[in-house]
């Protein structure tokens, strides 16, 4: 009844998964690298193979690892091909469409607004990179996107040296990558720059996505907002 603090320690497989998570975040193994075999890891950590496998399952569900039967267990890296767009949720009205992004501007700015979005009682003196991009599905411009991340991640940043997938850029240049996001979807009057990019009248009410993205280091590393043209695309979510 009186339910005092549970002193019971966490299950062993949880302890193991958290240990491995820390080691991966610390760079013990880098993205793409293969981990030791299950039996080897189990032996090193002095746990049963079944216990280790359950720990790996947790990390796999968290998107941190990828297991291939007959091959090994690998630290996951954002794939090179089409699956770069893991978290891209816009689709053409008749479904699908290949995403592309064209960067419009890159700037290092102070913004208390964004600082608040990052939590951490936003320091108004902090600087953030602001990227503005035009999004395409196939050949159709469908959305204007504004992305913010911590100014300390890069000294210099220009349109030329940005990978088309920002998430790939993060991994290759900043040594972290995104594991999950929270989206809030609504509609808003779009700012002038977005209307111009999308070639709509000013002002126009467009679909609007506000996103926070969590990286494998556990922090929120990106905040973005996207205005999309409802005549061209929709936001799609599958829930269970």
Question: Is residue 71 involved in binding DNA (CB under 7 A)?
Answer: yes
In the complex, least distance from residue 122 CB atom to its own copies, rounded to whole angstroms: 17
Q: Compute the distance between CA of residue 6 and CA of residue 203 in angstroms, rounded to an integer.
A: 56
Answer yes or no whether residue 28 interacts with DNA by CB under 7 A. no
Q: In this complex, which beta carbon is closest to its own copies, that of residue 138 or of residue 205? A: 205
Give the residue with the Cβ less far from DNA, 53 or 110: 53
Stretch that binds its own copies, among 119-127, 134-142, 145-153, 200-208 (CB under 8 A): 200-208
Which residue, 46 or 125, has its beta carbon nearer to DNA?
A: 46
Residue 63 to residues 51, 111, 127, 233: CA-CA distances in angstroms?
19, 31, 30, 27
DSSP per-residue letters across 10-73? PPHHHHHHHHHHHHHHTTSS-TTPBPPPHHHHHHHHT--HHHHHHHHHHHHHTTSEEEETTTEE
If contact means CB under 5 to 8 A according to the sort of partner, which of its own copies, DNA, none does residue 53 touch? DNA
The correct pick among 33, 180, 196, 203 for binding its own copies (CB under 8 A) is 180
179 binds, options its own copies, DNA, none, Cβ within 5 to 8 A by partner type: its own copies
Report DSSP state, residue 121.
Answer: T
Q: Are 91 and 97 in contact (CB under 8 A)?
A: yes
């Amino acid at each position: 009844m009186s339910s005092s603090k549970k002193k019971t320690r966490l299950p062993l497989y949880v302890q193991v998964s958290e240990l491995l998570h820390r080691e991966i975040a610390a760079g013990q193994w880098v993205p793409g690298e293969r981990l030791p075999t299950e039996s080897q890891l189990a032996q090193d950590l002095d746990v049963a193979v079944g216990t280790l496998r359950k720990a790996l399952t947790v990390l796999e569900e968290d998107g941190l690892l990828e297991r291939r039967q007959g091959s090994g267990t690998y630290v996951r890296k954002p794939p090179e091909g089409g699956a770069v767009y893991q978290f891209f949720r816009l689709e053409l009205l008749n479904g699908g469409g290949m995403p592309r992004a064209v960067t419009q501007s890159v700037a290092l700015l102070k913004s208390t607004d964004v600082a608040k979005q990052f939590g951490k009682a936003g320091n108004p003196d902090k600087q953030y990179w602001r990227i503005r991009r035009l999004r395409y599905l196939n050949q159709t411009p469908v959305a204007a996107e504004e992305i913010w991340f911590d100014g300390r991640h890069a000294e210099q940043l220009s349109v030329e040296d940005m990978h088309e997938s920002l998430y790939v850029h993060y991994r290759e240049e900043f040594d972290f990558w995104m594991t999950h996001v929270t989206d809030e979807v609504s509609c808003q009057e779009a700012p002038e720059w977005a209307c111009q990019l999308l070639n709509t009248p000013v002002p126009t009410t467009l679909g609007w996505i506000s996103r926070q993205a969590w990286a494998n280091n556990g922090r929120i590393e990106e905040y973005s907002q996207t205005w999309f043209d409802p005549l061209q695309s929709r936001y799609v979510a599958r829930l269970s």
